[in-house]
Structure 1
Amino acid sequence: MRSFQEQVCCSQVDVVIGKDYVEELNSINGRKAVVFSKNLKLEGLEADLLIPLDDGEQAKDLSTVLSIAREMFEKGFDRGDYVIAVGGGTVLDVVGFASSIYLRGLKLVNVPTTFLGMVDAGIGGKTGVNFQGIKNVLGTFYQPSKIVIDLKFLRTLPIEELKKGMAEVIKYSLTLDKELYDYLSLNKDRVMAKDEDALEEVVYRSVKDKLGVVKQDEREEKGIRIVLNFGHTIGHAIEAGSDFKVPHGYAISVGMVCEAKIAEEMGYSEEGVVEDVLWLLQLYNLPISVDQLGQNVSVEKALKAIGKDKKVRGGAVMMPFPTRIGDWKRVDVPLETLRGFAEQCLK
């Protein structure tokens, strides 16, 4: 088990990795509303309100947030109470948003149950729902007071779901953490066999890497936090172009390949970076091109989504480009230039 704390702006975030989540949550003193993925059985968990949710993109809607707020309001929850999110990325995003706006903020505890949630969605304080077919248009920055990562959820997790989360882990290694890149290179069999020590190491390094960035630039105002979006500009476009049928992790995997190629073509990456990106993604059997995604991706819809990207400023998109493994540089790419590169990559 590992535990640590990070100070993110005005909030202290406590992280616990490898402890039984029921035991940890039952030790919290106060009223608790637990919003959880419908496919979970919450045995032994003490709660004052239980709200089951679907854990898919269709639930990332403002109506879901209002439904959660309504139930808490009817039960008389106040600002001294806790909202606990137990589930995958959708549950964490939606519950975090509801927690941030109900009475201007209740204490939030994230319990990610998927690998993607453990290494990404449950960390960093981004909440949100989709709007008008575009991902995460409505949302807030709201830090959880506690993140509880119980690795036993991964024991029955399908390998396919582990692979989807590995795309985000690989993202950290490519832009922030060469030691993680080397660890992933040498321990693929242990990681994919779900060796608990290997998974704990991967989760710990991922959480530390992400929180290390977030505490420097919580609200993406300094151009630092954008490093966490490597692969996401093209990746989110792929998701939109497939009507969200392509899983997030796979879209990001292809997005990282496209963005690494753009960085190389624009002269920002050292020679060999694209090959290193391709090698590690292929080692973990992740898709590296659109034709490996198994879904139709509308180039027109994808290019339209790029124009709606939250990193667009004054006709340019702020992009984090890998300069070498474990290092990166912010580049403001003109929107039309990016669309041209993206069109080539998505065909």
Structure 2
Amino acid sequence: MTVIPVSLDDRSYDVIVENGLLARAAGHLAPLSRGRTMAIVTDENLHPHLATLQASLSAAGVASESIVLPPGEGTKSWAMLERLTDRLLDLGVERGDHVIALGGGVIGDLVGFACAILKRGCGFVQIPTTLLAQVDSSVGGKTAINSRAGKNLIGAFHQPAMVLVDPTTLDTLPNRQVRAGYAEVVKYGLIDDADFFDWCEANAGALLAGDAAARSHAIGHSIAAKARIVGEDEFETKGRRALLNLGHTFGHALEAEAGFSDRLLHGEGVAAGMALAYGFSAAQGIAPVGDAARVSAHLRSVGLPDGLAAAGSTDDGATLVAHMMHDKKMSAGTLPFLLARGIGQTYVDKTVDLAAVAAFLDSQPR
């Protein structure tokens, strides 16, 4: 078992990582139940994991009710938020209760936001079942739904009471989903840890093939990196937490072009976005061309998109930049970009000329 603290004063909590943890989850959840029925929110693809969790709770004398939603990015919507909150209210959820989010980033984001607003805030627990959710979205308290204007534009900061990570849940995950989640793993190397990027280059194959030691190391290292950054800048007001958005400005524009659908998974958009961020940095003379090429080569080697063509993009630069203008990081009409001086040397640049971004995108192969 690995226990990683997220230190946020009275909002602090632990991320617990252990193989087989789902079957033993009741040991951590029962103290939060207060003798009441616990609501579990999940999606239609996760019935085996739901059964395991409910069996664990039942054996500990904890009753549970499940709310099963459709899978996919479309579930992060106003309609599903209304459906979920109505159901939670029907179940009589109180402020002191803890709702369990069992699933990937979609379920975690939706449940977290619902709990942020239900009765002005109730508790929740993250049990992420995808690699992307385990290393990124389940930690840090960002919760949201999508809108017609863009991704994650309606949301709140609401920290979970705990995060329970069982790496063995990845054994049932489709290979494409594991690869998409890996984009968020390699991101931590590209932000500020060149040694970890070296590790990723050497061990990505084993991780993606299911090697338990490689997966556990990647998950633990990634969570610790995110916990450190979140602890320094919980509400993204100091600039430090913005580093976690590496690849997301470009990536969200590509996701918007794809209609936030399975045509381009979130992690795939982030991968293409990171390659574009490094490519733009190199084109501007900020990063070595060799570093940008190295990032693209690694992403290609694991089957992730490394640019517009691989992401299926056909929009011109101006259209993609228009998508970016809905980014929630916009401030006084300025859009900060995550650029890099080299591998492991990401920084926030608030002076980027959007016309230069559009011209760069137009220069990329389609």
Task: Return the structure number with greater strand share.
Answer: 1
Residue 343 to residue 145, structure 1, CA distance change in 2 (3 Å): farther
Aligned counterparts of 2:275 and 2:156: Cα–Cα separation in 1: 29
SS at 1:135 equivalent: strand
Provide runs of 4+ in structure 1 moved above 6 Å: none
**1:311 equivalent in alignment to 2:317:** no
Equivalent residue number for residue 73 of structure 2: 57
Residue 133 of structure 1: how far off its partner (Å): 4.4
Higher helix share: 2
Give identity over the alignment, percent. 31
How far did 1:108 drift? 1.4
Inter-partner Cα distance in structure 2 for 1:152 and 1:175? 27
Aligned to 1:243: 259
The aligned counterpart of 1:70 is 86
Which residue is equivalent to 2:60? Answer: none
Query: How far did residue 324 of structure 1 move?
Result: 2.2
Displacement of 1:341 after TM fit? 2.8
* More off after superposition, 309-318 vs 333-342: 333-342
Give the Å deviation of 1:279: 2.7
- The C-alpha deviation readout for 1:51-109, integer Å capped at 9, x for no partner, is 01122111111221222221222222111111110011111110010011112221211
Matches within 5 A, 1:17-28: 17-19=17-19, 20-25=21-26, 27-28=28-29
Structure 1 residue corresponding to 2:45, chosen from 39, 46, 64: 39
**Any residues of structure 2 matched to 1:203-218 within 5 Å, and which?**
203-218=219-234
- Specify whether residues 262 and 150 from structure 1 end up closer, same or farther in structure 2 by C-alpha distance, changes over 3 A only: same
Range moving further from structure 2, 36-45 or 205-214: 36-45
User: Could you list the runs of 5+ residues in structure 2 that have no partner in the other structure?
Assistant: 58-62
3-state DSSP class of the match of 1:130?
Answer: strand
Q: Give the aligned partner of residue 4 of structure 2.
A: 4
Instruction: Go from structure 1 to structure 2 and tell me whether the alpha carbon gap of 1:27 and 1:118 turns closer, same or farther (over 3 Å shift).
Output: closer
Query: Which sections of structure 1, spanning at least 5 residues, go unmatched?
Result: none
Q: Report the TM-score, using the length of structure 1 for normalisation.
A: 0.93
Cα contact 1:55–1:87 (8 A) shared by 2: no
Mean CA deviation greater in 78-87 or 325-334 = 325-334
1:259-317 deviations in Å (ceiling 9; x for gaps): 11211222332453212212321232222122223x45433653321111112223322
Counterpart in the other structure of 1:335: 354
Taking the aligned partners of 1:212 and 1:342, their CA distance within structure 2 comes to 33
TM-score (norm 2): 0.89
Kindly report which structure 2 residues correspond to 1:1-347, keeping only aligned pairs within 5 A, or say none: 1-19=1-19, 20-25=21-26, 27-28=28-29, 29=31, 30=33, 31=36, 32-41=38-47, 42-43=50-51, 44-46=55-57, 47-244=63-260, 245-293=263-311, 295=312, 297-299=314-316, 301-332=319-350, 333-345=352-364, 347=366
| 8 Å contact from structure 1 (residues 170, 281) kept in 2 | no
Q: Is the 8 A contact 2:181 2:267 kept in 1?
A: yes
**Alpha-carbon distance between aligned partners in 1 of 2:334 and 2:356, rounded to the nearest angstrom:** 9
Q: Describe the shift of the 1:311–1:342 C-alpha distance in structure 2 as closer, same or farther (beyond 3 A).
A: farther
Q: For 2:319 and 2:124, how far apart are their aligned partners in 1?
A: 35
Name the CA shift for 1:238/1:267 in 2 (closer, same or farther; >3 Å): same
Shift in alpha-carbon separation, 1:104–1:346, aligned structure 2, 3 A: farther
Report the alpha carbon displacement of residue 226 of structure 1 after superposing the two structures with TM.
Answer: 1.2
Structure 1 residues 258 and 104 mapped into 2: Cα distance closer, same or farther (>3 Å)? same
Which deviates further from its counterpart, 265-274 or 311-320? Answer: 265-274
The alignment partner of 2:237 has SS state of coil
How many residues were matched structurally?
346
**What letter is aligned with 1:264?**
A
Which amino acid is the alignment partner of residue 270 of structure 2?
Answer: I
Give the whole-Å Cα distance in 1 for the aligned partners of 2:92 and 2:3. Answer: 33
Instruction: Indicate if the aligned counterparts of 1:134 and 1:240 stay in contact, CA closer than 8 A.
Output: yes
